[in-house]
Amino acid sequence: MSVVHASITVTGKCCPLPLIELAKAAKNMRPGEILKITGDDPIFEISVRDYCASQNLEIISVTNENSSQVGILIRC
């Protein structure tokens, strides 16, 4: 299991707000640190995957937290 250095929850927020918060959080992370982001927007996972690909951030895992929330671990 990866050590999570920071965690943000964007549940209830619609895109692009989750990506804005992800960008702010990732900017404050050191290379190699792990960020967990949890959200429930229907396009949340796709948007985070696209953002991470564009920023050279590594997605470590994607899990369904419950019926509506997705948790994503990202290596910065």
Three-state SS sequence of the chain: CCCCCEEEECCCCCCCHHHHHHHHHHHCCCCCCEEEEEECCCCHHHHHHHHHHHHCCEEEEEEECCCCCEEEEEEC
What confidence score (pLDDT) does residue 76 get?
96
Question: Is the whole model's pTM more than 0.75, yes or no?
Answer: yes
Over the stretch 28-67, which tens digit does the pLDDT of each residue have?
999 999 999 999 999 999 999 999 999 999 999 999 988 8
pLDDT (0 to 100) of residue 67: 85
Give residue 1's pLDDT: 62
Confidence of residue 2 (pLDDT cuts 50, 70, 90): confident
Task: Specify the CATH superfamily of domain 6-75.
Answer: TusA-like domain (3.30.110.40)
